[in-house]
């Protein structure tokens, strides 16, 4: 009996030790910095300017206004964006393409330094793009994990402090379980690697706007992919306080005849977030996904009519730049007007982040749709 009691006591001690070990809080090299960076980006009235288009995609945009796709023209356009006077009042972070991270202004100042002067955190796109996923119905997976640790370390040295990885989910093509899990696991591995290199990971499983599905089907798929993503991030010991999310809004498909107004989009999107996203996450930085400038701002405004557990804001590309690009047209004399257009859009979304946007001053161009079926970044 004494021996059995001794063995029992020994087992209790082992289980107690295991229990204590299981609740030890992760303490990574960059944890404090990651949390600080995430909260800087997720600061009141500010959001992210996404200017990370690949050279080919940037070329398509330049071509749309009659500007040749050269490195100098890409550099000039991106200088226009990141040196706009006063832009730091509304923009807290800018996602860059690798080329842009190492470029400088015409006067020789590094873009990274120009952004830091306006309290804008430089970020970097780190994925290597989408390719077909074998044995699925036309679905995709995202490349880029090979060598990601080394790339992230170099980007940190160059001044980047957050990263972006975009994978996608297609409703018309599924989504299949294998595609959902591949998307979620890839994002989780990327997030863990980025954090270990000092970069706050933006986690972006974009549910594409393509399709005829209604808003309820979109909600179902959004809940599914975010459940998988957070499960795999937890498995990979990703620190939720040091990440940002970049979801699509919950909307009907682009070809669905039953449209949804801002109030309904806000209702469904916030319902999805409350069901799936822990309050430990500092910021939800929505993508516009082909919505018009006006639509994306109205939807964001509707989501901020009541307090949220997170900073609910924006990470827009086309919805911030469409009017800017058309105003610029590659002409140096148009730079001030183009920068004024960027400030106007940035302020509108800053107001929307605080739930006080007034669309009365918007022009017709802001309502122009920008959806492109099968859009490639």
Annotated catalytic residues are: 204, 246
Residue holding tokens 């995430």? 38
Q: Give me the DSSP letters along 323-335.
A: HHHHHHTT-GGGH
**Cα–Cα distance for residue pair 374/377, rounded to 1 Å:** 10
Sequence-ordered list of residues with C-beta below 8 angstroms from that of 62, at least 6 positions apart, any chain? 68, 69, 73, 74, 77, 325, 330
Answer yes or no: are the C-beta atoms of 204 and 167 closer than 8 Å: yes
Count CB neighbours of 128 within 10 A: 15
**Cα–Cα distance for residue pair 254/259, rounded to 1 Å:** 9
Sequence-ordered list of residues with C-beta below 8 angstroms from that of 15, at least 6 positions apart, any chain? none
Copy the structure tokens of residue 317. Answer: 């590309």
**Chain mean position to CA 103:** 22
CA atoms within 13 A on the CB side of 311: 24
Cα angle value 244/249/375 (rounded, 5°)? 95
Per the rule left: phi > 0, alpha: psi between -120 and 50, beta: everything else, 213 is beta
**Cα–Cα distance for residue pair 357/369, rounded to 1 Å:** 20
Q: Give me the DSSP letters along 129-185.
A: -EEEPTTSSS-EEE---TTHHHHHHHHHHTT--EEEEEEEE-STT---HHHHHHHHH
**Cα–Cα distance for residue pair 153/121, rounded to 1 Å:** 17
Sequence-ordered list of residues with C-beta below 8 angstroms from that of 340, at least 6 positions apart, any chain? none
Q: Find residue 150's DSSP bridge partners.
A: none
Answer yes or no: are the C-beta atoms of 196 and 149 closer than 8 Å: yes
């Amino acid at each position: 009996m004494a021996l059995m009691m001794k063995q029992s006591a020994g087992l209790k001690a082992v289980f107690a030790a295991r229990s204590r070990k299981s609740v030890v809080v992760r303490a990574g090299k960059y944890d404090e910095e990651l949390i600080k960076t995430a909260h800087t980006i997720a600061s009141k009235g500010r959001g992210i300017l996404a200017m990370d288009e690949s050279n080919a995609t940037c070329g398509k945009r330049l071509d749309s206004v009659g500007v040749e796709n050269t490195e100098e023209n890409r550099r000039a356009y991106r200088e226009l964006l990141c040196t706009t006077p006063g832009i730091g009042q509304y923009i807290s972070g800018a996602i860059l393409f690798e080329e842009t991270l190492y470029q400088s202004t015409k006067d020789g100042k590094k873009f990274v330094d120009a952004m830091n002067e306006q309290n804008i955190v430089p970020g970097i796109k780190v994925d290597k793009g989408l390719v077909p996923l074998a044995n699925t119905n036309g679905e995709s997976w995202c490349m880029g994990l090979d060598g990601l640790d080394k790339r992230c370390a170099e980007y940190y040295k160059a001044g980047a402090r957050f990263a972006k990885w975009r994978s996608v989910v297609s409703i018309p093509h599924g989504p299949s379980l294998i595609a959902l899990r591949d998307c979620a696991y890839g994002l989780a591995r990327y997030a863990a690697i980025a954090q270990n290199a000092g970069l706050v990971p933006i986690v972006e499983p974009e549910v594409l706007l393509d399709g005829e599905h209604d808003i309820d089907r979109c909600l179902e798929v959004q809940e599914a992919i975010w459940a998988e993503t957070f499960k795999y991030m937890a498995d990979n010991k990703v620190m939720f306080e040091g990440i940002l999310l970049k979801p699509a809004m919950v909307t009907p498909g682009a070809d669905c005849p039953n449209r949804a107004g801002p109030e309904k989009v806000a209702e469904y999107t916030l319902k999805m977030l409350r069901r799936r996203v822990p309050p430990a996450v500092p910021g939800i930085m929505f993508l516009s996904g082909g919505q018009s400038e006006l639509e994306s701002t109205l939807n964001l405004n509707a989501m901020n009519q009541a307090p949220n557990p997170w900073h609910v804001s924006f990470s827009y590309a086309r919805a911030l730049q469409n009017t800017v690009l058309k105003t610029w047209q590659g002409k140096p004399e148009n730079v001030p007007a183009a920068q004024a257009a960027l400030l106007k859009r940035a302020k509108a979304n800053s107001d929307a982040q605080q739930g006080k946007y007034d669309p009365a001053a918007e022009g017709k161009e802001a309502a122009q749709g920008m959806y492109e079926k099968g859009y490639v970044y």
